[in-house]
């Protein structure tokens, strides 16, 4: 609701971009950082916002598995078909043809039979079979296409895709996957198509990809393009509209940004309601391919991103530096660092770093090299913007000519609140609960967005925990149920949490 008010800016960008239809081929015009311009007064550089092209990020990924010894084959073991428990095979880590190490999730596919990683079988049933597959880049990445995971066996009955924005220090859910969302996570099943511009940041549970072994498809998606389409149109022909929106809405930018991804496998495909304890060799995880496409996040200050010592680094321009071009070079700190901007579309504003006054010769030389501020790709800082005293960091505009909002605030003057926040006397404060994002669980009801009133048997901020004191056996019973009794705290902090990484903040 709050976002929607703010997203009305979207309408503006639709207009802008319809004027510049001839620019709208593919992904926009951010593939150069500067061009030389000739005028009567001579030639000079015209600086523009720029970004690297999207690439196959699996070429640069590192992976870790938890538990580390969860891969099958050491010692060798037998696994059997879901449909036919008597059709069995060996997994043996010591024999190449029978080994299924994690690398096989990232090798080139397209051959038959496909190569795949495989876990041990569910010998410990009814203890849950839990596996975390963590993908990390040690680099901030902006996702540009769907994440696609191809399972070799059935798709898991329960899975959570998580993301981190701070190199694995904190994790937030990205999407829940279950055969029964309500039962597993206490969430209404949804698909991305149920979302809209206003709810695009909602974290959903989907049943679309969890129909066990019998379903034809082995593929599971995290839908990036469907989410882009809410802004850029069904065939993404209007990227300018998306870019304009990304520029003005930090939460939206952060939503598509990751440093790490984690696939939490919580219950393998069982193919039927009951697990057959006589044939536990039928239950395991196997993944043949993971696809992640994205671009290096370089804060619109680079078109190149190269690999150096197995690490991705932006090739920063505009006299910026750092892995994400997140600061000004030494001797170029004449004004505070600022991310480039897609605005004004189509070429954006470069917001280049300027020489520190002490590091250059005489000021006249400075004037001669850089004739005026607009040719430097710097937006005009001298506006009077009337930023909200409570919602804005300063009462003045920043170098980009916009009010810099505090956490939870939005709008041109930072006087509106994002979804999940409410305006209290001192600005926007995070809702403890509401009817859309932070939902009271287990029958709890939300009071004034500040607390959940829980039924007697539950407690916790969102009534997500059993009250063990009142029901001494309740907790132990529920933990014995195994895989499906996960703590299902669906706090949607990911969308609204501060990054806590000043170097990577856009503003
Ligand atoms: C997997 O990751 C989650 C948090 O993202 C953590 O709570 C859990 O202990 C990890 N390990 C396993 C085996 O699930
Ligand atoms: C991650 O990148 C930073 C610099 O970008 C580097 O200093 C650090 O060593 C890297 N860490 C790993 C584990 O590669
Ligand atoms: C950055 O500084 C170098 C000199 O150190 C200069 O040649 C170059 O043009 C500058 N680039 C920008 C974008 O200002
Ligand atoms: C600044 O430079 C740009 C590009 O050369 C030019 O179009 C504009 O008229 C100049 N503005 C001023 C105030 O000189
Ligand atoms: C800011 O507020 C003043 C006084 O209320 C008004 O005159 C001015 O036009 C406003 N400026 C903007 C950019 O809204
Ligand atoms: Ca493979």
Q: Could you read off the pLDDT of 217-226 as tens digits, one per residue?
A: 889 999 999 9
Q: Name the β-bridge partners of 147.
A: 222
Mean pLDDT of 451-462: 88
Nearest ligand, measured from the Cα of 39: 4
Q: Are 325 and 362 found together in one domain?
A: yes
How many helices and strands (H and E) does the chain possess?
Answer: 9, 28
Residue 379 confidence class, pLDDT cut points 50, 70, 90: low
Q: Looking at the structure, tell me whether residues 203 and 331 fall in a common domain.
A: no
Question: Do 246 and 328 lie in a common domain?
Answer: no
Tell me which residue has its CA closest to atom 6 in ligand 5. Answer: 386
On whether residue 203 sits in a domain, the answer given is yes
Compute how many other C-beta atoms are within 10 angstroms of the C-beta atom of residue 92: 17
Residues 126 and 144 in one domain: yes
d(CA 416, CA 107): 47
Q: Count up the domains in the chain and report the number.
A: 4
Which ligand lies nearest the alpha carbon of 68? Answer: 1
For residue 247, the model assigns a pLDDT of 85
Please report, for the domain that includes residue 397, its CATH number: 2.10.25.10
Q: CB-based contacts of 20: which residues, under 8 Å, 6+ apart?
A: 240, 345, 346
Residue nearest to atom 10 of ligand 5 (CA): 386
- Enumerate residues lining ligand 3, CB below 6 A: 47, 317-319, 352
CA of 481 relative to ligand 6 center, distance in Å: 34
Q: 225-264, pLDDT tens digit by residue?
A: 999 999 999 999 889 889 988 988 888 999 999 999 999 9
* Cα 371 to ligand 4 centroid, rounded to whole Å: 8
**Do 336 and 259 sit in the same domain of this protein?**
no
Same domain, 220 and 282: yes
- Regarding the beta carbon of 372 and ligand 4, being less than 6 Å apart is answered yes
pLDDT tens readout for residues 100-111:
999 999 998 776
For ligand 1, whether the C-beta of 260 sits within 6 Å is no
d(CA 131, CA 281): 17
Residue 253 alpha carbon to ligand 2 centre in Å: 23
Same domain, 154 and 232: yes
In a domain, 146, yes or no: yes
Residue 170's contacts (CB-CB under 8 Å, 6 or more residues apart) are 164, 497
Whether 449 and 471 map to the same domain: the answer is yes
Residues 174 and 233 in one domain: yes
Instruction: Give yes or no: residues 369 and 422 share one domain.
Output: no
Domain range holding 429? 380-439
- Give the Cα separation of 76 and 443 in Å (integer): 47
Which of 64, 66, 67, 131, when mutated, tests ligand 1's pocket best, judged by the most ligand atoms within 8 Å of its CB? Answer: 66
d(CA 413, CA 393): 11
- CATH code, domain carrying 476: 2.10.25
| Residue 382 near ligand 5, beta carbon < 6 Å | no
Q: Give the C-alpha separation, 364 to 344, whole Å.
A: 30
Asked whether residue 146 falls in the same domain as residue 237, the answer is yes
* Ligand 3 centroid – CA 332 distance (Å): 9
Q: What are 440-451's pLDDT values in tens digits?
A: 888 888 888 888
**134 and 272 inside one domain:** yes
């Amino acid at each position: 609701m709050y976002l929607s008010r703010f997203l009305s800016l979207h309408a503006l960008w639709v207009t802008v971009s319809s004027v510049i239809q001839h620019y709208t081929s593919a992904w926009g015009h951010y593939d150069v950082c500067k061009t030389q311009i000739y005028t009567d007064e001579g030639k000079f550089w015209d600086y523009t916002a720029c970004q690297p092209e999207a690439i196959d990020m699996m070429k640069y990924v590192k992976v870790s598995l938890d538990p580390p010894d969860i891969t099958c084959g050491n010692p060798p073991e037998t696994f059997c078909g879901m449909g036919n428990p008597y059709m069995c095979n060996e997994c043996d880590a010591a024999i190449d043809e029978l080994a299924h190490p994690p690398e096989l999730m990232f090798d080139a596919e397209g051959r038959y039979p496909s190569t795949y990683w495989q876990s041990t079988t569910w010998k410990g049933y009814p203890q849950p079979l839990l596996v975390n597959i963590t993908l990390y880049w040690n680099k901030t990445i902006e996702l540009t296409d769907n994440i696609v995971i191809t399972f070799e066996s059935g798709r898991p009955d329960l899975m959570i895709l998580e993301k981190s924005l701070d190199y694995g220090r904190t994790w937030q859910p990205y999407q829940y996957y279950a055969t029964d969302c309500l039962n597993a996570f206490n969430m209404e099943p949804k698909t991305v198509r149920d979302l809209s511009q206003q709810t695009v940041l909602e974290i959903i549970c989907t049943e679309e990809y969890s129909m066990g072994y019998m379903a034809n498809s082995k593929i599971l998606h995290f839908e990036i393009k469907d989410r882009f389409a809410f802004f850029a149109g069904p065939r993404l022909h209007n990227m300018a509209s998306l870019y304009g929106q990304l520029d003005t809405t930090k939460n939206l930018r952060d939503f598509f940004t990751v440093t790490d991804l984690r696939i939490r496998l919580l219950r393998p495909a069982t193919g039927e309601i009951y697990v057959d304890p006589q044939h536990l060799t039928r239950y395991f995880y196997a993944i043949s391919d993971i696809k992640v496409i994205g671009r290096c996040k370089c804060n619109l200050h680079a078109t190149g991103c190269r690999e150096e010592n197995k690490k991705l680094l932006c090739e920063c321009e505009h006299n910026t530096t750092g892995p994400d071009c997140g600061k000004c070079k030494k001797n170029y700190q004449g004004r505070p660092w600022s991310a480039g901007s897609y605005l004004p579309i189509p070429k954006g504003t470069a917001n280049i770093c300027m020489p520190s006054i002490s590091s250059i010769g005489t000021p006249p030389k400075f004037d001669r090299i850089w004739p005026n501020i607009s040719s430097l790709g710097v937006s005009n800082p001298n506006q009077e913007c009337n930023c909200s005293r409570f919602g804005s960091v300063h009462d003045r505009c920043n170098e980009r000519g916009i009010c810099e909002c505090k956490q939870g605030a939005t709008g041109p003057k930072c006087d509106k609140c994002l979804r999940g926040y409410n305006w209290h006397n001192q600005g926007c404060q995070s809702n403890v609960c509401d009817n859309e994002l932070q939902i009271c669980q287990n029958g709890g009801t939300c009071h004034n967005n500040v607390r959940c009133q829980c039924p007697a048997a539950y407690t916790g901020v969102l009534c997500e925990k059993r009250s063990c004191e009142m029901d001494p056996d309740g907790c132990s019973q529920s933990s014995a149920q195994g895989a499906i009794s996960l703590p299902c705290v669906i706090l949607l902090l990911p969308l609204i949490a501060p990054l806590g990484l000043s170097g990577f903040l856009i503003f």
